[in-house]
Structure 1
Amino acid sequence: MLNSFITIGDVAEASLRFTVVLDPLSEAAQKISSILKVLSKIPGVSIKLLLNPVPMLEDLPIKRFYRYVFQEEVHYDSQGKRVAAQAQFKNIPTEPLLTLGLDVPRAWVVRAVDSVHDLDNLKLDALKPGQNVDAIFQLNNILVEGHARELHSSTPPRGAQFILGTPSKPHIVDTITMTNLGYLQLKANPGVWQLRLREGRSNQVYQIDSVPDKYMGKGGESKGDGYATVVVDSFEGVTIYPVVKKRVGMEAEDVLEPDPVGAVWDQLKSRVWGDSKKGVQTTASNVTINIFSVASGHLYERFMGIMMLSVMRNTKSPVKFWLIENFLSPKFMSFVPHLAKEYGFEYEFITYNWPHWLRATTRKERTIWAYKILFLDVLFPVGLDKVIFVDADQVVRTDMKELVELDLEGAVYGYTPMGDSRPEMEGFRFWKTGYWANHLQGRPYHISALYVIDLKRFRQLLAGDRLRQQYQMLSSDPNSLANLDQDLPNNMIHEIPIFSLPKEWLWCETWCADNELRTAKTIDLCNNPLTKEPKLKRAKRIIKEWTELDNEVQAVADRVEADAAKAIGQKRHDEL
């Protein structure tokens, strides 16, 4: 231990003395070392740094290049203008595939808004001499987080829905209270806000008692008209602790409405005696079909544009796409409005910050998978009842209204079972042996490339809370949930049953026989562990309409770029 510490500054003369114990090969050390470097330059400060590495390592724990932007003083250039703080990366290897991202306070909702580069798939050796990777990130929102509880029991008011707004617009954003720690999250910005219970069941059963900013604290009492004031006055966000109480006469009621007796009887009758209308729920032709998806990287965004066009070609009802913005590039996000105008669909970019109490994953791929399953109850507006997930690398050949109308027979979601008709892949069907064979007990293992979620039922049964609890338990083992978005719902199949969609709803060459392609309603470009054929090559080979769809989307993109270039040229001409 004699050589395992570093001393900076004069301990005897220092008015501030820091003693830091640090594992040098940890992500925390990457941030703290930058802070210590700045502190060491301040007069009257001494630092004693003790290095405490892990004795035995099986793998290198740091897999990122990191800079923490923190200056000890403001700097100015020769013209007297303030020099912005910046991070510099020198001598980074150029061969590996890199991802550029920001490490920001947990209350910040940040995304890249301008960059021509694929920030998720950077190859520095592909840059031209002297070319930089430029990106502009924007702070969109500051979060109001909270942990709600009932006044008398101190238990979370499960299912209670809150809205945040202003006097002129009371409902700007909404959320549902998780049973997990009574957690809630609302996107806001600096200013004075009003927190209310959402009209309907939440407001009928509960009323706000107070909204303190400390647990068991005082203050923030509800106004007479049922709201409490929340002030966002810090870039660190605000954490509140709403306290609600049940209204007189509602003490035995639950916010989560039970199924109507008639609906339960109809389900029981159809299961016992059968039903000529089984599997069909009529939907008005003008009801919007809601589809959500996620993509990361320019290649998958190219796939996503093709998927969206294939949906619009085959679906007669209005369509709205819900796209998780966390992983989309600025280029694609600016292109979506043009695509929407061209083909007449609605769209919305959605996001949800990873809760601080939920075990995070460092691999971006796993994070993307997590967003497909862990936050379904809180990712969408609480008024949305049904949504379909479609993988970005899919081509749709049917009217998606069929899937919305499909009766899930009481299940919260419906997935397609993994294909079982291509014999040469038998050795890769892991779900037929070992743990999965014992766990499933004859039930099919389902694929997560396409599924429909009954959000109303999902919330009533607290499926989101139960999935997060199971994830929190299993993710303590880094080897578990290898395919997070599939493994988690299949692992919970006994507690949260899955409705098995007919096999024609999803075909992928990896698992399904060639003769089934003819009746496929959607085609997915699953990875093939046997051939490892690139998806782009496979798409052109097996999907006859793929090239036409690709060319059509690209034609829109080319037209948008040409119009933008023309507008820039016209502006320069006007300035001259």
Structure 2
Amino acid sequence: MVISSSIAMRDRSSESARFEILSAEYSAVVLNNENSSIHIDAVVDPLSPSGQKLSSLLRVLSKCIQPSMRLVLNPLSSLVDLPLKNYYRYVVPTMDDFSSTDYTVYGPKAFFANMPLSKTLTMNLDVPEPWLLEPVNAIHDLDNILLENLGNIRTLQAEFELEALVLTGHCTEKDHEPPRGLQLILGTKNTPHLVDTLVMANLGYWQMKVFPGVWYLQLAPGRSSDLYILREDKDDGSQDMPSSKRITIDDLRGKLVHLAVVKKKGKEQEKLLVSSDDDDHSQEKKKGPQPEATKPIPKPFDLAHLP
């Protein structure tokens, strides 16, 4: 089996890449493994952000499957500015993360050495978009790191934890604009309301925090459920529609949910969001005309009490 990969910002005339024509005499690293059935050719710009990520992946592949590899370095011929403005480490779980004596799990880690002491640094994680991570053990401000102010140790440690996943989606109403302000709740069968959110005007976007498991999405009690019901793609607008939508989170990649709603019969002209002026006007209509307030009759001055 042959695996070929090319990372470059140059246009190619065809979809195939012929790596055998590349000269590897002075600008390539060759790792021969005659017993391996996998060969990897990689063309990398060592001073590019994509080169930082690819080199880490190639290192993991070299350690795990031990392929035959040829790494061709292909930097730009001229540079106007410093191409790299960050330090990158690829973190992947390995068997070293588990203790050999007990059930302790150390977790994957990244280590940076020989960092500049007088430069202000920022530590963050490059993770998939649905992940919500937070530092759970960090003494110093990770957005303003100045190593020369850490004392004699000059070592900074931080632990991050995956707090939750982001469940995203779009809510639509047929032949209408997205129902801005529609309230959605998410929970289980026993506890229907664990988290909630509002539908935005921009493409009907909404998002919630979730964990792996089985969840049920439905309209929040109140004006949202009074005006709208969930609609399935195969339904024709009848009232016999599901009251909730089942969502299964079975991986760490998140999920994009498309939700369709329709107004109940007889309430097609009612608005979901009512302004304060319209609300006051409707309240006055319900109360009807009110009698005029009687003004108190002023009493004559008591001259004895005047100064």
- Determine if the TM-score, normalized by the shorter chain, exceeds 0.5: yes
Q: Which amino acid aligns with 1:127?
A: L
SS at match of 1:40: helix
Structure 1 unaligned segments of length 5 or more: list them: 211-215, 265-576
- C-alpha distance after superposition, 1:324-358 (max 9, x if no partner): xxxxxxxxxxxxxxxxxxxxxxxxxxxxxxxxxxx
Is the counterpart of residue 59 in structure 1 residue 76 in structure 2?
Answer: no
1:98 corresponds in structure 2 to: 121
1:74 corresponds in structure 2 to: 95
Is the counterpart of residue 137 in structure 1 residue 154 in structure 2?
Answer: no
Q: Which amino acid aligns with 1:235?
A: L
- 1:148 shift after superposition: 2.5
Q: 1:62 to 1:206 in 2, by over 3 A?
A: farther
Structure 2 unaligned segments of length 5 or more: list them: 1-21, 282-307
- C-alpha distance after superposition, 1:61-89 (max 9, x if no partner): 43222211125x41366747766432111
Return the alpha-carbon distance in structure 1 between the equivalents of residues 47 and 109 of structure 2.
Answer: 24
Please point out which of 130, 135, 148 is paired with 1:107.
130
Return the alpha-carbon distance in structure 2 between the equivalents of residues 181 and 51 of structure 1.
Answer: 44
Q: Which amino acid aligns with 2:168?
A: E
Return the alpha-carbon distance in structure 1 between the equivalents of residues 73 and 175 of structure 2.
Answer: 46
Q: Which amino acid aligns with 1:60?
A: L
1:32 corresponds in structure 2 to: 54
Q: 1:203 to 1:136 in 2, by over 3 A?
A: same
SS at match of 1:196: strand
SS at match of 2:63: coil
SS at match of 1:164: strand
Q: 1:132-531 to 2 correspondence within 5 Å?
A: 132-150=155-173, 152-153=174-175, 156-210=178-232, 226-258=243-275, 260-261=277-278
TM-score, structure 2 as length reference = 0.66
- 1:245 shift after superposition: 2.5
Q: 1:130 to 1:113 in 2, by over 3 A?
A: same
- Contact 1:206/1:244 (CA < 8 Å) preserved in 2? yes
- C-alpha distance after superposition, 1:5-34 (max 9, x if no partner): 746556998655555565543333322321
- 1:185 shift after superposition: 0.8
Return the alpha-carbon distance in structure 2 between the equivalents of residues 139 and 223 of structure 1.
Answer: 40
TM-score, structure 1 as length reference = 0.38
- C-alpha distance after superposition, 1:506-547 (max 9, x if no partner): xxxxxxxxxxxxxxxxxxxxxxxxxxxxxxxxxxxxxxxxxx
Return the alpha-carbon distance in structure 1 between the equivalents of residues 73 and 201 of structure 2.
Answer: 40
Q: 1:49 to 1:158 in 2, by over 3 A?
A: farther
Return the alpha-carbon distance in structure 2 between the equivalents of residues 181 and 46 of structure 1.
Answer: 48
- 1:187 shift after superposition: 0.8
SS at match of 1:35: helix
Q: How many pairs are equivalent? A: 254
Q: 1:262 to 1:180 in 2, by over 3 A?
A: closer
Identity %: 37
SS at match of 1:148: strand
- Contact 1:9/1:40 (CA < 8 Å) preserved in 2? no
Q: Which amino acid aligns with 1:257?
A: V
